[in-house]
Amino acid sequence: MLLCSLSFPPTWLIPVMIESRQVTWPAYVVSIAMIALPLADVSTSLYPWRFYEPRWRFGAVGLISNSLLLPMAGLLVAYLTAVILDHRTTRRIIGGGSLAALGVCVAALVMFALDAVQTRAAVPPERRVSFNVASTAAAIKTIFAAVTFLAIGISAFRGPKGRSAEVRPSDVPLFKLEPAPIQTIKPGGPKA
């Protein structure tokens, strides 16, 4: 009789299919679409761009912060694909892009705070609570995006230099079959 037990390095979660190079281009294309399309939608809705107006910048950061979740997920898909398939150059490019996005988030957050102070003066007193809630929500979303970009950027540069020759995802079984211990029946013992 064989007993079935799960083997556990975390790599058992990676399907054997992911080792196939057939996944590479679809994963990267989907991740690029997840990053570029929401940002393109927001940039077209913000047109005509008026960078010199504090109210426009305030609204722009608010809209962009609402659309950052899908690009962050796309970046994570690209990063995971690069890590799993051991694309070191792509991983470093993703890390550099993440750190650049972090810089943009920090700069946008500073400008957003200054623009919020300038814009708040023009808000009627009965709408200030809504304005404060919207401002806080946009700032928190931008902070979360900055932390995400920082985490991906650091992980991309601190990650392993190459895959270990000892353990590869295709070498680790999803299930490990082990033989059951042999039981011997002594004379005069219980009979089944």
6, part of any domain: no
pTM: 0.70
- Residue where the block lists tokens 């962050």: 72
What are the residues whose beta carbons fall under 8 Å from the beta carbon of 125, sequence distance 6 or more?
none
Band of pLDDT at residue 160, cut at 50, 70 and 90: low
183, part of any domain: no
3, part of any domain: no
Domain count, the chain: 1
In the predicted model, is pLDDT for residue 168 greater than 80?
no
Q: Which domain holds residue 47?
A: 11-171
pLDDT in tens, 60-101: 998 999 999 999 999 999 999 998 888 899 999 999 999 999
